[in-house]
Structure formats: structure tokens, C-alpha cells
Structure 1
């Protein structure tokens, strides 16, 4: 191109450009015909409204190239897609078959554990029934001890109502206490054994329930897994569950799952063995306790006759001391009356002496003198106060002595009444009731 050609700068392309736009560049415009041509002056510094032919060809070539590249990429993607679909289909088939096989193995494991749990539940039911029979025998034996315990308790309660002079640990008391203690120990032993039986029955039932719950869970899981094992690609009830692959935090592992059932079975077997041993222990307890109760009953009856003679002798002695106490009470009351009169006799001289002192305290000025009369009056008041204090103290001692005598009298009267009542209880009530002592068979829980 000649130097007279005018170079114009390319203006920015408009907003609506072709899809395949070439990069902007500087290019030549139409050749000028002269130095001062009006066309060149009019277009100087402006972008032409049309592209050049070279630019049109470049744009077309770019479109061809882009179409070829897109077709090539599409063909590769179609080939890769078919290959991926085939691979994933085969992988899905293998994975599904493997999952079905695993579910089948799981079903076999659950079936084995179900059978073990069901067997253990049956054995626990049988053992629980035997323990219930032993518990009923214990309860009958415990009820049978109520009669001898009520006899011994009634005897002890009647004798315990005696006051201190009569509350002695005599022969009857010792034997009754032994009998009551023996019965209480036997009752406590039977109650503890019943509680052990109840707890054992409860433990048997709890472990039976645990095994049943475990069995029910396994039945439900077995049904679920059996349903899952029947699912295939032609099943109509399958659907999407996007979040089903998430593991629950409380989910167990195969090891913990098997260990849980195994531990349940082991605990159930231990409880069954403990129940068997407890039933043997109950037989020995009932045999020994029934024999001990009858032996102690004979020892108590022998002590009553000897004690009745001692009570009669003690009552006569108490009545003798009661008569002497009554005479002493009368003498002490007379002494108290004399002391009160002596106190009243000292009150008038004390008033006289205190009145003299009060009147002399009214003397005016220097006449208020501490003379001999004043000192004598003061000493007189002190002597009278000391005398009154001594008499009042002696009166208090006498009154206390009288109260003691009254307490002694009341105690003696009460002792006499209690001993009279004790004689009636020992001779009439106790010996009569002891004739209804239960037999050995009843105490052993067979009746």
C-alpha cells in the first residue's frame, strides 16, 4: 500500500456481534484518489460500517472449526457414556448379587440366635414355675410361724407391762425371749428367703423378657431382611431413599450384635443355675426350722410352774413393805407440818427486826448513827434469815422425802398389781394358749 493511503483506527464493535467474533485489529480502508479528496477527509478517524472479506472468511473458518470440535467431543462422550453404562450396569449387578448373598448369610445367623433364645426362654419358664412352687411353700411355713410367734409375743407383751420391780429376767422370761428370738430369726430367715425367691423369680422373668425382646427384635429384623432379600430390579415397591445410606450413631457392629445376644444367653443361664441352687437351699431351711421350734416350745412350758411360786412369794413381801411405807408417809407428813409451823413462827420476829431497821433508817442528819442497837438489829435479822433458810431447806428435804415415799408407795402398789396380773397371765392365759402350738409338718410348710 502507498504512503498516501490513509490509515484509520478501528472503532469498537457494536454490542450485537456474530457468535464467533474475531479479535479486533487495525486494517486498511479504501484507497484515496488524491491528496485532498473529500471522501478521505470525511472518513478520517472513524470505523467502517462493514467487515472485510478476509474477516468474513476467518469468521466462517472459526465456525467450521468450532462445529468440528463440538462433534468430536460429543462422539467421545457418547462412546465413554456407553462404556460407563455397561461397566456400571455390570458392577451394579455384581454388587446386588453380593448384597443378596450377604443378606442371606445374615438370615442364617439370625435364625440360629433365634432358636437359642427360644430354647432359653422355655427353660426359664419351667424354672420359674418350680421356683414359684417353692415360694408358696415358704409362704405357708411363714404363715405357720404366726401362731407360736403370737403366743410368745403375747406372753412377752403381758410380762413387759410390769414395772421395774417386776421386770426381771426370770426363767420364763429367758425361755420366752429365746423362743421369740428363735421365731423372729426364723421368720426373718423365711422372709429373706422369700425375698430371694421373689428376686430370683423377678430376675428369671426379666431375663426371659430380655430374651423375648431380643427374640422379637430378631424376628422383626429377620422379616425385614427376608423382604429385602426378595427385592430385585423388577420389584414394584422399591423407591428412592436418598438419606438411607447414612449410618445411625446408635447402630451396632456385627461383633457387638453377636456379643449382645451371647451375653443375654449367658446371663439367663446364670440366673437359671442360681434359681436351681436356691430351690435346694429352701428345702434345707424348712426342714431345720420346723424342728427347732418344737424343741423350744417344751423348754418354755417347764419354766412357768417354777416362776409362779416365786411371784406369790414376791407379792407377799411387797405388801409387807407397802404397809411400812404407808406408816412412814404419815410420820413424814406430820414432820412437814411441824417444819412449816416453825417457819411461820420465825416470820413475825423477822418482821419486827426489819421494821425497826427501816424506822431507824429515817433518823435525821447526824442522828443516823451506827450504834450498838443498829448492829444488834442487823445481826438479829441475819440470824433469823439463817434460821429460816435452814428450816426451809429441811422442809424441802422433808417434802422431797415425802415425794420419794409417795413414789415408792405408788411403785409398790403398782408392783403388787403387776405381780397379781402376772400370776393371772402365767397361770391362766399363757399356759392355755401354748396348748395350740402347731405341728412340725405345718411348720415345714406341707399343710
Structure 2
């Protein structure tokens, strides 16, 4: 074996490589003198004492360095996990506290939403009751309308001169127009109430959805707040810690609920105003109908009084006419008898004059008997003419009296018929007029 130059082997620290400590530079090679051929084959793999001491001191030095480094790491680790534990506990406590505050905030908003939901529900029920009252009031107006139109149709069947446009007809026409306008107003108001009911229900549904979301969120946050480090149902959800893009910020969250509550408050105010309007409307329409009904009734009463007075006067006049007819008929009989009584004296006088006109010759003279007979004949003729003239006038008067009697009887019949229509039919029918409570929808 040939001899070679003795050199020291490089030092390699495997722990430093494992710990990631940069490797130290290789030791300086110290040339060693050759031992000669005598030592050939014995020195190629051996260290020198200097190398042994150097390696020994290096190991001690490295061990001391590693010990100090380990001690430092231990101190830093204790400080780190203590501070981390404290920070984690503090962060968890803050999270629990914030969850509690959030629960209180959600509970407040839930309570406010619940209050408005109940208010909207009560308002909707009240509006439904008002809608029912409006429908009943509208149905109740059909009775006055039927009464008024029936009165007008009945009065259209009045006879002769009684078919007049009097105050009763004027008031009845006013009543018909009033009822029509009230019916149109009630229909429009009912439509407004129905629209408000729809708005209240839509707003209530929005509040209920918001309340439901907050109820679910409250349940989740309450469950989250009950989690602790010893809870058995906790799991790892790494992706849940990342910020989601679609979530809203607290101000938008608050504004959303505030807008819903503002809308609910507006609908509540509108409901209150509409309810007051409907109540006043029902009261006003009822008063208007009752006032007009009273006006029509008063007009009917005055008209019936006028008819009764006219009928009474006509009946009195009819009685007088009948008495006059009876007297005139007796007068005519007396005149006829008087005329008949003049026939015998006329025949006697005419017969005397005729016989005396047959006297012969000079005996046919105008002597006193002749003159007396001629005067008697003329007197009888004049009396008969007067009686005939009087009889003719009496008969004419009797004819006029008969016409007056017939006219009076016809007018009495008209007044009786009109009085029957106004008093016995119309006024009796108007007793079925709805009461105040019925007209107000109760």
C-alpha cells in the first residue's frame, strides 16, 4: 500500500441540518508531515490527538449552544402559549359578549316588529269590520231607494188635476238623488278600505318575514353563544371564517328593519285616518238620509192636510149643490105646474074670444067684455111666456148644478184617491224606513 498525505476529515453536524441551522464552514485543513513508509497502512483513517480534542471541544460547545437555544425556545413557547391562551380566552369572551349584545338588539327589534305586526293585525280586523258595516249600510240604502221610487210610481197614478209636481214629489226626487250619491260614495269608500286592507296585509307579511329571519338569527346566535371549549357538538368549519361578499353591513341591516317599521307606521296612520273617515261618513250619510226622510214625511203630512181640507170643502160644497139641485127640481116642478094651471084659463079666454068673434054684423064690436077678454088673453100669454122663460132658466141652472155636482164628485174622488195614495200607501210604506243603527251598518 502506498503512503498518502494525512488529512483531517470534514466535520458534519447532522442536528444542525435537521434544525435548519446553517452549516458551518469546513475546518481548515492542517497539513501533516508524512510518517514515512514505516507507518504505511496504519494512519489513513485515524485522527490526531489535536483532532480528537478539537472534535471533543466542538461537541461540548455545540451541546451548550443547543441547550441554551432549547431553553430560550422553551421560555418563548411558554410565553407564547400563555399569551395565546389569554388572547384566545379574551377574544372568545369578547365574542360571547358581542353575541349577547347582538341578541339583545335582535330581541328589541323583534319586539318592535311583533308590536307592529299585532297592531296591523288589529287594524286589519277593524277594517274588515268597517268593510262589513259599509256593505250592510250599502244594502240598507236599497230599502229607502225602493220606498222612494215606489212612492214616485204610486203618485204617478194620481188622477186629473191632482197629478201635480208638488213639494212631496220634489222632496222624493231629492231623496232618490241623495240615496244614489250615498250609494256611490259608500262603494268608493269600500274600495278604499279593501285597498288599505291589502296594504296592511302586505306590510304585515313583510314584517313577519323580517321577524321570522330575526327569530332564526336569534336562535342561531343564542346557540352560538352557548358554545364553550368543553362543548361536545363543536366542529371544524374552516371556510366559515372567510368574509362573504353577499352579506350586509350593520347599518344596512338596521335601515332595512327601520324602513319596514316606518312603512308599518305609515299604514297604521293611514288605517287610523281611514277608520275615522269611514265612521264620520257613516254618521253623515245616516243623518242626511234621516233628515231627508223627515223632510219627505213633513211634505207628505202637509200634502195630506191640504187634501183633507180640500176634500172636506168639496164635500160641503157637494152637499150644498145637492140641496140646490133638489130645490131647483122642486122649482121646475112648480113652474111646470104653474104653466099647466094657466092652460085652462087660457083655453077659457081664447074660447070666449073665439065665440065672440062669431057675433054677427054690428054685434061684433070691441065692447068692454071684448077688451077685458083680450087683456086677459094677453096677460095669460105674457104670464106663460114668463113662466116658460123661468122654466128654461131653471132647467139651465139645474143642468149647471148637475155639472157642478159631477165635477165636485170627480174632484172628491180624485182627492180621495190621492189621499189614499199619499196617506194609506206612501206614508204607510215609509214606516218601513231603516233605523239609524241599520243605516250605520250595525
* TM band (smaller chain): 0.3 to 0.5
Task: Name the larger-Rg structure.
Answer: 2
Instruction: Please report the TM-score for the alignment, with normalisation by the length of structure 2.
Output: 0.47
